[in-house]
């Protein structure tokens, strides 16, 4: 516990969401009592007038920008233009108005989708510009990556203090379990539970199961964000992850076992795989602000499954 957060007013965009609610909880635990969570009904951050109103109304010391228009492969394929425009405008305008108003620090959350499709494994921050992202989520990934360009340009010209973090895929309690828009872990959890309860002998999943991914438990991600917010002041991009790679096939097997589904898993190879491999080099985060994830994947999956089973009847569907 430090006094760093005690007297600061912090705006957390997306603070009512999956990751944001975890960040807000940890901020409160660290002694921060002046936290603003803007809701989209009041402040549509895609529009400049709403961004300006947010800064006028709350005069923050720091903005932690977690709000995003995001989803899995299907959602990205259905909404490439919306995902690009909305994410680009939110990030760009929040930084620009923050710069105009003398904001002390801006913390931006990028995405693993910003990395090149065929980046060398593990993904190193210095390789982030060495190719085009995987096509199904490139508009979203590039929109978020523009915050890195803006952060570096504004630091050089204006001395504006902003940092940009690049997390791997997140998972955990309170995730989005809507099959139309969710990411892979919540989608697999929901499908495996449904197949088990229906007594199905088989379960069909997208792709061929060969791609690899890395996953970061949401509580660990929140801790990493707040460590960086407190201890890091630079515009070099920083990965947040575990450094542990798992195939989608093995992930599905783990989740099926956790759900108690004992049937056969089939793979629909007419559906896209997405990026071939994802795994981060996480050394920079360790060196700059001593972040290291605490949850092993199996432990995090168990917690996530338990939360889903306890709360699934109260979940809302997500649409764009």
> Mean per-residue pLDDT for 271-294?
94
Q: Which of 43, 55, 115, 140 is catalytic?
A: 140
Predicted confidence (pLDDT) at residue 64 exceeds the cutoff of 80: yes
Does residue 277 belong to any structural domain of this protein? yes
pLDDT at 31: 96
Q: Which residue has the tokens 């947010």?
A: 54
71, pLDDT greater than 90: no
Residue 229 has pLDDT above 50, yes or no: yes
Distance between CA atoms of 137 and 140, rounded to whole angstroms?
6
Residue 319 lies in a domain: no
- The structural domain count of the chain equals 1
Q: What is the CATH number of the domain that holds 73?
A: 3.40.50.720
Domain membership of residue 28 (yes or no) is yes
SS3 content of the chain, % helix, strand, coil (to 5): 45, 15, 40
Tens digits of residue pLDDT in 96-147: 999 999 999 999 999 999 999 999 999 999 999 999 999 989 999 999 999 9
Containing domain of residue 204, as a range?
Answer: 9-314
Distance, in Å, from the CA atom of 13 to the CA atom of 55, rounded to the nearest integer, reads 12
Residue 70 lies in a domain: yes
Mean pLDDT of the chain: 94
> Whose CA is closest to 227, among 279, 285, 280?
285
Q: Could you tell me if residue 267 is inside a domain? A: yes
Residue 320 lies in a domain: no
> Of 118, 115, 249, 116, which Cα lies nearest the Cα of 184?
249
| The pLDDT of residue 258 | 97
Residue 266 neighbours by CB distance under 10 Å? 11
Judge whether 164 lies within some domain: yes
* Mean pLDDT within 306-320: 78
pLDDT in tens, 14-51: 999 999 999 999 999 999 999 999 999 999 999 999 99
Beta-strand (E) ranges in the chain? 9-13, 34-36, 62-65, 105-109, 162-167, 169-171, 202-206, 212-213, 215-217, 238-240, 246-247, 264-268
Choose between 140 and 74: higher pLDDT: 140
CA 234 to chain centre: 20
The predicted pLDDT at position 300 comes to: 98
- Residue 1 in any domain: the answer is no
320 pLDDT higher than 50: no
Residue 158 bears catalytic tag: no
């Amino acid at each position: 516990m430090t006094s760093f957060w005690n007297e600061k007013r912090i705006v957390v965009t997306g603070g009512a969401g999956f990751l944001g609610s975890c960040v807000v909880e940890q901020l409160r635990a660290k002694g921060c009592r002046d936290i603003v969570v803007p809701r989209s009904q009041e402040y549509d951050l895609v529009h400049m007038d709403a961004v300006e109103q947010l800064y006028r109304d709350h005069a923050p010391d720091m903005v932690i920008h977690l709000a995003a228009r995001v989803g899995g492969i299907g959602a990205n394929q259905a909404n490439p233009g919306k995902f690009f425009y909305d994410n680009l405008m939110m990030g760009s305008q929040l930084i620009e108005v923050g710069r105009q108003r003398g904001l002390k620090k801006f913390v931006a959350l990028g995405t693993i989708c910003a990395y090149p499709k065929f980046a060398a494994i593990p993904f190193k921050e210095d390789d982030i510009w060495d190719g085009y992202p995987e096509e199904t989520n490139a508009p979203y990934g590039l929109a978020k990556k523009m915050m890195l360009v803006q952060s570096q340009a504004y630091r050089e010209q204006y001395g504006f203090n902003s940092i940009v973090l690049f997390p791997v895929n997140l998972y955990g309690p309170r995730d989005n379990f809507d099959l139309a828009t969710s990411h892979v872990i919540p989608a697999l959890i929901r499908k495996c539970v449904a197949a088990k309860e229906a007594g199905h002998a088989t379960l069909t999943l997208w792709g061929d199961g060969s791609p690899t991914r890395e996953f970061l438990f949401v509580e660990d991600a929140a801790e990493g964000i707040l460590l960086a917010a407190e201890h890091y002041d630079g515009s070099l991009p920083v990965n947040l992850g575990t450094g542990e790679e798992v195939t989608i096939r093995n992930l599905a097997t783990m989740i099926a076992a956790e759900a108690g589904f004992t049937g056969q898993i089939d793979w629909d190879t007419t559906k896209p795989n997405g990026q071939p491999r994802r795994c981060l080099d996480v050394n920079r985060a360790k060196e700059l602000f001593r972040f290291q994830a605490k949850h092993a994947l199996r432990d995090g999956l168990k917690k996530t499954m338990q939360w889903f089973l306890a709360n699934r009847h109260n979940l809302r569907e997500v649409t764009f």
